[in-house]
């Protein structure tokens, strides 16, 4: 039996990933920073839930303790993420980017990934087939953001793409440090969720495809890679 924790799984891509992994036979923990939203999501899916705010050391430590007491963890999906937007919904571009806005995005998208991975490492190391999926973005690809005449090139934000480039580097360094684990970064594609005020062009079913696939890689599967549903991506 495979036990899987997905951070920020009370809605969006995390929720759809949870739905698919429950269907695939995983015991799934819905990580949620709101206990009631997590409970409702878990109830709908026949999953478990754990209170987990990726920006908060105490909540992450308590979540790791709870999951450990229930038997441990095989798969960690670092999915929780935020984007920096103006109150009117516009992405914060270079002219308006501030250290505070940057720090707030990094607190969730980057430090959150490190905080959660660090807390769950002892559990993953006890698994026979440990897997980590870091939900990155195509916007984290330096190659893509510098390829003219593409939607990725046209994206004006600073904090969000920078945070996802950091997630890619975290993925590579952890994959080298823990060769017994399968650790990959994935790009779901532009998907209609609350993150982008439902402007995304894909459904959550399409977006979750690569997350679900990489959550199920076996010990012979790839590690230290960066993938979308079509295959490897340029860094």
Ligand X SMILES: NC(=O)c1ccc[n+]([C@@H]2O[C@H](COP(=O)([O-])OP(=O)(O)OC[C@H]3O[C@@H](n4cnc5c(N)ncnc54)[C@H](OP(=O)(O)O)[C@@H]3O)[C@@H](O)[C@H]2O)c1
Which residues are near ligand X by CB under 6 A? 7-8, 10-14, 33-34, 37, 52-55, 79-82, 108, 135, 137, 187-188, 190-191, 193-196, 200
Nearer to ligand X, 28 or 52 (CB): 52
Q: Which of 160, 174, 190, 226 is catalytic?
A: 160
Q: How far is the CB of 16 from ligand X (least distance, A)?
A: 8
Q: Are 120 and 62 in contact (CB under 8 A)?
A: no
CB closer to ligand X, 8 vs 225: 8
Helix (H, G, I), strand (E, B) or coil at 220: coil
Q: Is 186 helix (H, G, I), strand (E, B) or coil?
A: strand
Considering beta carbons, is residue 101 or 129 the nearer one to ligand X?
A: 101
Q: How far apart are CA 206 and CA 208, in angstroms?
A: 6
29, 155, 164, 174: the catalytic one is 164
Q: Which is nearer to ligand X, 28 or 54 (CB)?
A: 54
For the CB of residue 180, give the shortest distance to ligand X in the complex, in Å.
Answer: 25
Q: Quick count: other Cβ atoms within 10 Å of Cβ 23?
A: 12
Q: How far apart are CA 26 and CA 85, in angstroms?
A: 35
Letter string b/e over residues 40-61, b meaning 16 or more CB atoms within 10 A of that residue's CB: ebbeebebbbbbbbbebeebbe
**In angstroms, what is the minimal distance from the CB of 179 to ligand X?**
25
163 vs 223 by CB, closer to ligand X? 163
CA distance readout (Å), 217 to 2, 15, 159, 160, 229:
12, 19, 30, 27, 14
Spatial CA neighbour of 163 closest among 139, 188, 128: 139
Calpha distance 155→174 (Å, rounded): 28
Active site residue 160: yes
In angstroms, give the least distance from the CB of 192 to ligand X. 7
Whole-number minimum distance, CB 147 to ligand X, in Å? 17
Mind telling me the catalytic residues?
A: 160, 164
């Amino acid at each position: 039996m495979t036990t899987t924790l997905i951070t920020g799984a009370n809605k969006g891509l995390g929720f759809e990933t949870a739905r698919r992994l429950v269907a695939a036979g995983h015991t799934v923990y819905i990580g949620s920073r709101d206990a009631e939203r997590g409970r409702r999501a878990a109830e709908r899916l026949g999953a478990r839930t754990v209170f987990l705010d990726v920006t908060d050391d105490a909540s992450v430590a308590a979540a790791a303790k709870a999951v450990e007491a229930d038997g441990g963890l095989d798969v960690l999906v670092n999915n929780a993420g935020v984007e920096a937007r103006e109150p009117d919904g516009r992405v914060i571009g270079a002219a308006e980017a501030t250290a505070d806005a940057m720090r707030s995005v990094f607190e969730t998208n980057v430090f959150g990934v490190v905080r959660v991975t660090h807390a769950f490492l002892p559990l993953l190391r006890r698994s026979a087939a440990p897997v980590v999926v870091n939900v990155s973005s195509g916007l984290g690809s330096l190659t893509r953001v510098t390829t003219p005449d593409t939607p990725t090139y046209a994206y004006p934000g600073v904090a969000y793409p920078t945070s996802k480039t950091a997630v890619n580097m975290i993925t590579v360094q952890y994959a080298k440090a823990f060769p017994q684990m399968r650790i990959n970064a994935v790009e779901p594609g532009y998907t209609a969720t609350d993150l982008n005020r439902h402007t995304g062009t894909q459904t959550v079913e399409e977006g979750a495809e690569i997350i679900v696939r990489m959550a199920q890689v076996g010990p012979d599967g790839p590690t230290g890679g960066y993938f979308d549903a079509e295959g490897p991506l340029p860094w």
